Amino acid sequence: MEQQVAVSPAKPASEFIVGEPRQHDLWDTVRAQIDDVAHRLNLDPGIHAILRRPERELTVSVPVKMDDGRIEVFAGYRVQHSSILGPCKGGIRYHPDVDLNEARALAALMTWKCAVVGIPFGGSKGGVQCDPRQMSESEVCRLTRRFTAMILPILGPKRDIPAPDVNTNPQVMAWIADTVSMLEGHSVMEIVTGKPVPLGGSLGRAEATGRGVAIILTEVLNRLGRQPSDTTVAVQGYGNVGSVAASLLDEMGCKIVGISDVSGGLYSPRGLDIADINQHVAHRGYLLKEYQSSDVESISNDELLTSDVDVLIPAALEHQIRADNAAAIRAGVIIEGANGPTTREADDILRDRDIIVVPDILANAGGVVVSYLEWVQNLQRFFWEEADVNLQLERRMIRGFDEVWDYGQEKQVSLRLGAYMLAMHRVATAIGVRGIFP
């Protein structure tokens, strides 16, 4: 997921996203999904083998001079899963759990995400294994610039275009663009998306992923013949994606009864005052546990996942819905705002319980859709109004949802399988048409 987190490296340590260590390997989950879908599509074994491996992997050591004068070396990664449909596209995250397998998995998910919404990009992902909570703004800046220089040989506006992800933001993208421009000797703002607007960033980009989640939920409700006013929603992860989705759904009339971040959750069966909570977040950062209201109770993240709601939106980190809690989930609809929030075992449980799950590669594709629109604007040197960007986003998200829903109905499979099958079919077809070099 190209996910933006609206925090600055200069913010207090508590404002960064840090989750519990992963108990499952996301790359194993992604490969198992590839194998299953390849079998269902009866793919040529050679094409299956291509899709199962990243095209290119780069592991780098990133030495950084810290503010106290010592040198610390961080591990960095950039993985390009596929460039069959176009330049690789994917975020850069700064997190203690970043590793090569995570980058491989998220790069593959980006390939399917771009394919399922018809964006002419392939998939990539990268990051640095670090704890930005313990770093100053100047240290994060030096880390970013050195990491950019280390992976620059495989970057390029027609090769691989990074974007923000967990614990990175428009400022980090500005540092990347400036570093590349200095090394290349000319302005290369199109090297990244998710930039600040004054540097060529697109209007509407910061809200794009959360807006896409809201658009998808609206389409699900339409298919089910339900009204937003009759729908209760819980959102796990109140960062950029979760907060935007919750705010838009609240404006549409949905009742947001539960939200959470790394500090804990808030719950009110009568509905939360999202506008007031957003003011709290704006002044105090991502610490929902400090929010006080007489009709709001504190709950844990686990309690939020199993709360009595119509719709659950997991918008935090991967593998939050697992075999040990999937049976307790009471929501009838799950919209995956995060990348890989559901383990394979949990997905089987949810499917057996007839819970509708809109998979991440479709539900959170809004970020990469508007990243594509930003890239197009950069290449043309022609910029659009925010209303035009949002209209293009809505059209592409609705079209993607309709195609996945109809494909799933035709093949009599879940939305996740339908999305993967449609995406892999498109990439496999492109491989067949292009042929194998030489």
**What tokens appear for 86 in the block?**
């176009």
Whether residue 189 sits in one domain with residue 309:
no
- Residue 368 falls within a domain, yes or no? no
pLDDT > 90 in the chain, percent: 86
Name the domain boundary from 199, 228, 255.
199
- Residue 194 falls within a domain, yes or no? yes
pLDDT of 427 strictly over 80: yes
Whether residue 155 sits in one domain with residue 177:
yes
How confident is the model over 117-144, as pLDDT tens digits?
A: 999 999 999 999 999 989 999 999 999 9
Contact by Cβ (8 Å): 87, 368: no
Whether residue 252 sits in one domain with residue 159:
no
Chain centroid to CA 14: how far?
Answer: 21
> Which among 65, 89, 113, 125 is annotated as catalytic?
125
| β-strands 160-164, 232-236 pairing | unpaired
- Residue 410 falls within a domain, yes or no? no
Whether residue 195 sits in one domain with residue 223:
no
Whether residue 272 sits in one domain with residue 172:
no
Distance CA 259, CA 233 (A): 9
Name the domain boundary from 134, 169, 199.
199
- Residue 318 falls within a domain, yes or no? yes
pLDDT of amino acid 20: 38
Q: Which residue has the higher pLDDT, 386 or 318?
A: 386
Whether residue 351 sits in one domain with residue 270:
yes
pLDDT of amino acid 183: 98
- Residue 21 falls within a domain, yes or no? yes
Whether residue 246 sits in one domain with residue 157:
no
> CATH number of the domain that 135 lies in?
3.40.50.10860
Distance CA 82, CA 51 (A): 8
Whether residue 168 sits in one domain with residue 62:
yes
- Residue 119 falls within a domain, yes or no? yes
Name the domain boundary from 180, 199, 218.
199
| CA 207-427-240 angle, 5° bins | 15
Cα–Cα separations (whole angstroms), residue 276 to 54, 248, 249: 45, 14, 15
> How does residue 263 score in pLDDT terms, banded at 50, 70 and 90?
confident
pLDDT of amino acid 23: 43
pLDDT of 25 strictly over 90: no
pLDDT of amino acid 262: 85
- Residue 394 falls within a domain, yes or no? no
- Residue 28 falls within a domain, yes or no? yes
**What tokens appear for 190 in the block?**
């199109």
Whether residue 157 sits in one domain with residue 89:
yes
pLDDT of 282 strictly over 90: no
Number of separate domains in the chain: 2
Distance CA 334, CA 349 (A): 13
pLDDT of 19 strictly over 60: no
Query: What DSSP element (H or E) covers 77?
Result: strand 71-82
Smallest CA-to-CA distance from 287 within 14, 18, 19 is with 14
Query: What DSSP element (H or E) covers 48?
Result: helix 45-52
Whether residue 193 sits in one domain with residue 260:
no
> CATH number of the domain that 331 lies in?
3.40.50.720
How confident is the model over 169-191, as pLDDT tens digits?
A: 999 999 999 999 999 999 999 99
How confident is the model over 288-341, as pLDDT tens digits?
A: 878 888 889 999 999 999 999 999 999 998 889 999 999 999 999 999 999 889
Residue-range definition of the domain harbouring residue 101: 13-33+53-199
Buried/exposed 258-296: b ≥16 CB within 10 Å, e otherwise: bbbbbbbbbbbeeebbbeebbebbeeebbbbeebeeeeb
Whether residue 190 sits in one domain with residue 222:
no
Whether residue 214 sits in one domain with residue 194:
no
List the 56-65 sheet strands across, edge first.
Answer: 56-65, 71-82, 122-129, 88-95, 160-164
Distance CA 259, CA 241 (A): 12
pLDDT of amino acid 12: 32
- Known catalytic membership, residue 255: no
